[in-house]
Amino acid sequence: MKKNLLLRRLVIPTFASLIAVASPLITLGAAAKEKVPQETSPSTLREPETGFRVLPYLQSPTSTSMTISWVSELNEPGNVIITGPGIKMKKLISAPHYMELMEYTEKELKQELTYNSGNGVVETIPQGSWLKSNSNYKHSVTIDGLQPNSTYHITVKQGKGTHTSRFETFPERENWDKLKLIAFSDSETEPFGALEHREWELHTVNPYAPGSEERPGKGSAFDKKYGNAARNNMFLVRYSLDQQTALNENLAHIEKEDPDALIITGDLTQGSGYQPGWDEFWRHFAGEFTDIASKTPILPALGNWETYAAINSGYGSDADRTPAVISRNRFHEYFDTPGDAENPQFKDSYYRTDMGPVTLLTLDSTNGIPDESTVTKTFTGSVYSGNDSVLKELVWAEQGVNGDPYITTDTQGEFTAESYYDAYTKVFKGTTTKDSDLPNFNPGTEQYKWAERQLKDAREKGQIILVQFHHAAYSSGVHGTPPNHTKADNQSGVAMRVYSPLFEKYGVATVISGHDEMFERSWVDLDGDGRGFHSYDVGVAADGLRGEKMIKDENGNYVPQDYNTYTQWSATQDEPEFWQTNKNGVKQLIDGGLHYGHLQMDFVKTANGTELTLTPVYIFPILDDNYDLVRTERRVYHDVQKIHFDKMGNVIPNVELISKSDFSGRRI
Ligand SMILES: [Fe+2]
């Protein structure tokens, strides 16, 4: 089990904890028992070292080429040796460039991490132990002329470091048999994730399966071990896995499946402008924990956390949005995507990936114009209450507010596009506001026109079409309601519904999003012709474990808001928990409930076309009688979907629901 390989925890028994728990150390795991004097002085960064800071990771995959990128701390060229079909041995030398944006800030150097789990126990990590040197050099080489559907071996040498891996090129559209993609979102990595166990939401109306006992409560052994955090006025024990362990376990199960690509639908780090967040991200994907990105290409999307600088002034202020600009451009620095060739200023904001018979469009949902904000009470449409059935998305693109008085147009209420454009010119000297990397997504914009061109082209070529963007347009979570709602959210994805008619017109099969940190599936068929698309929130990579947005009813009880009328299934609503006390008198979760996980998509060629199986996977923790983690199991929620396509990639209507969310008791 990969757990806390780098970060040694310290436990500080507080005065409160000494009262609450006779011996707080007894309740903690082996890793936490070692008591070491706390280092309180700010860290001294180590000198740059030879070798890799970030191991080689695969980018811009096609059937005939691959880009291999990595990061070193020293300014010395590395090289890649590649062997495989059609290539005896090819050597490519890299030309490193310094990544100016990646240097630690003063606040990052001085940061201290202290975690209070709510049960009186406080934990910390030795100050600065998570920091590396302050030097980052990016290397990228692109290898062309590869053969489709073939395995290549690469050896990358960087100074005294050597790393070997293998990858497979995508198949051609006409010559393939199967393809496996895995998607998740909201990994939101940060060093603090080694300490923090997140709040673990429980449905207020449907919490338990028949025959289940209730969750461990206040003062229980589970509470003493993992602490607690209230949500919706309920006492809730925290989740048993810290976020670092959760991502390690999630990735370990993904690695076993060996997918052809890993789709990460935004919010990769807990603040893209916070460099320790990126260090932690790469530890997981191309570093000490795994090198999955060396074998499996990552296809990332920009989320709101990619415009957020965390302790370095968040989204910035009206007077200075440079933190948001630095954040987005760190994402662009790390990732190498095809982008939009006609609008290179947008860098890696949106792009197309063809994987044999499947086309994935990645959109940038982070900014819509006209700007809206719940803070300044700026709305495009009128304010309303109730659910989303008043919306007329079918006319949004053509008629705007004239066709629907309740239209919404923005996903980011924290800043205006104009303030971002101005800041861009401050970060990148010699540029004008027109050079900004922030696209708008609404009709008439370059991104919207690009998306329609790609959809049309992919449809004409007979592709199966998937789309990903961060802000779930159909969500029952806290971001589900738009800014012009009486129970508003300032970063809602509802404005992205402007794409739904296009998605239906061109036969998009599935839309993958995140942002609400739920596991939810909605079914969208606006024109009611039986053809539509699934819209997922797969925001369960490793951060929040959230459920439906709850509001107080007239009796003061928390009930689901039920804004999203398209919802079909969610892990909190439809997978109730089943707890049972074992023969040793220890209450254990047997199954059900909300867990970390991912969406697996298996495409198989059939005699008549293609079959796609969408499998919502959850990573279930098995705990011993002390509530220490023994292992995690890969389990599947009761909402596996199948989609059939004809030979031209068209969805065949009447989606077959092979497994309903009909949980009815213990399942081993
Ligand atoms: Fe988000």
Q: How far is CA 618 from CA 249, 396, 405, in A?
A: 11, 36, 40
How far, in Å, is the centroid of ligand 1 from the Cα of 267? Answer: 6
Confidence of residue 665 (pLDDT cuts 50, 70, 90): very low
Beta-bridge mates of residue 545: 200
Give the least confident one: 23-27, 90-94, 122-126, 479-483: 23-27
How far, in Å, is the centroid of ligand 1 from the Cα of 492? Answer: 9
How far, in Å, is the centroid of ligand 1 from the Cα of 270? Answer: 10
How far, in Å, is the centroid of ligand 1 from the Cα of 468? Answer: 13
Judged against a pLDDT cut of 60, whether residue 148 lies above it is answered with yes
How far, in Å, is the centroid of ligand 1 from the Cα of 582? Answer: 39
Sign of CA dihedral 310, 312, 317, 321: negative
How far, in Å, is the centroid of ligand 1 from the Cα of 201? Answer: 18
Burial of 92 (0-12, 13-18, 19+ CB in 10 A): middle
Pair 446, 346: CB distance under 8 Å: yes
pLDDT attached to residue 44: 79
Pair 469, 363: CB distance under 8 Å: yes
How far, in Å, is the centroid of ligand 1 from the Cα of 202? Answer: 21
Q: What is the pLDDT of residues 42-93, one digit of tens each?
A: 567 999 999 999 999 999 999 999 999 999 999 999 999 999 999 989 999 9
Judged against a pLDDT cut of 90, whether residue 657 lies above it is answered with no
DSSP 495-545: GGGGGHHHHHHTTEEEEEEESS--EEEEEE-TT-SS--EEEEEE--SSS-B
For 406, the token pair is: 């309740």
Judged against a pLDDT cut of 60, whether residue 22 lies above it is answered with no
Q: What is the pLDDT of residues 486-511, one digit of tens each?
A: 999 999 999 999 999 999 999 999 99
Question: Across the chain, what does the average pLDDT equal?
Answer: 92
pLDDT attached to residue 12: 65
Name the residue with higher pLDDT: 234 or 355: 355
How far, in Å, is the centroid of ligand 1 from the Cα of 306? Answer: 9
Q: What is the mean pLDDT of residues 636-664?
A: 75
CA distance 311 to 317: 13
Q: What is the mean pLDDT of residues 220-237?
A: 94
Q: How far is CA 73 from CA 102, 279, 534, 589, in A?
A: 11, 13, 43, 45
Sign of CA dihedral 66, 72, 78, 83: negative
How far, in Å, is the centroid of ligand 1 from the Cα of 471? Answer: 7
DSSP 366-427: S--SS--BTTTTB-SS--B-S-GGG--GGGHHHHHHHH-TT----S--SS-HHHHHHHHHHH
How far, in Å, is the centroid of ligand 1 from the Cα of 514? Answer: 7
How far, in Å, is the centroid of ligand 1 from the Cα of 5? Answer: 28
How far, in Å, is the centroid of ligand 1 from the Cα of 472? Answer: 9
Beta-bridge mates of residue 645: 610, 651
Confidence of residue 105 (pLDDT cuts 50, 70, 90): very high
Judged against a pLDDT cut of 80, whether residue 212 lies above it is answered with yes
Q: Are strands 508-514 and 464-471 parallel, antiparallel or unpaired?
A: parallel
Q: What is the mean pLDDT of residues 186-195?
A: 98
Q: What are phi and psi of 188, to 5 degrees?
A: 40, 55
How far, in Å, is the centroid of ligand 1 from the Cα of 561? Answer: 20
How far, in Å, is the centroid of ligand 1 from the Cα of 61? Answer: 26
For 483, the token pair is: 């800014």
pLDDT attached to residue 656: 46
Q: What is the pLDDT of residues 556-587, one digit of tens each?
A: 999 999 999 999 999 999 999 999 999 999 99
Find all residues with CB under 8 Å of 100, minimum gap 6, and list them: none
Pair 408, 379: CB distance under 8 Å: yes
Q: Residue type at 259?
A: P
CA distance 455 to 346: 19
CA distance 635 to 197: 21
How far, in Å, is the centroid of ligand 1 from the Cα of 157? Answer: 36
**Shortest CA distance to 515 belongs to which of 499, 538, 535, 533?**
538
How far, in Å, is the centroid of ligand 1 from the Cα of 238? Answer: 21
How far, in Å, is the centroid of ligand 1 from the Cα of 189? Answer: 13
How far, in Å, is the centroid of ligand 1 from the Cα of 430? Answer: 32
Confidence of residue 7 (pLDDT cuts 50, 70, 90): low
Q: What is the mean pLDDT of residues 336-354?
A: 98
How far, in Å, is the centroid of ligand 1 from the Cα of 43? Answer: 31
How far, in Å, is the centroid of ligand 1 from the Cα of 363? Answer: 14
Question: What's the count of helices (H) and strands (E) in the chain, helices before strands?
Answer: 13, 30
How far, in Å, is the centroid of ligand 1 from the Cα of 151? Answer: 35
How far, in Å, is the centroid of ligand 1 from the Cα of 528? Answer: 30
Looking from the CA of 405 toward its CB, the CA atoms found within 13 Å total 4
| Opening angle at CA 311, ends 266 and 58, nearest 5 | 35
Find all residues with CB under 8 Å of 369, minimum gap 6, and list them: 409, 410, 417, 440, 442, 445
How far, in Å, is the centroid of ligand 1 from the Cα of 433? Answer: 26
How far, in Å, is the centroid of ligand 1 from the Cα of 414? Answer: 13
Judged against a pLDDT cut of 50, whether residue 23 lies above it is answered with no
Judged against a pLDDT cut of 80, whether residue 17 lies above it is answered with no
How far, in Å, is the centroid of ligand 1 from the Cα of 57? Answer: 24
CA distance 328 to 332: 7
pLDDT attached to residue 43: 60
pLDDT attached to residue 616: 98
pTM: 0.93
Find all residues with CB under 8 Å of 442, minimum gap 6, and list them: 368, 369, 409, 448, 495, 498
Alpha-carbon dihedral 525, 527, 529, 531, rounded to 10 degrees: -30
pLDDT attached to residue 19: 38
For 240, the token pair is: 């048993």
How far, in Å, is the centroid of ligand 1 from the Cα of 98? Answer: 29
Confidence of residue 233 (pLDDT cuts 50, 70, 90): confident
Give the least confident one: 37-46, 88-97, 542-551: 37-46
How far, in Å, is the centroid of ligand 1 from the Cα of 130? Answer: 24
Confidence of residue 250 (pLDDT cuts 50, 70, 90): very high
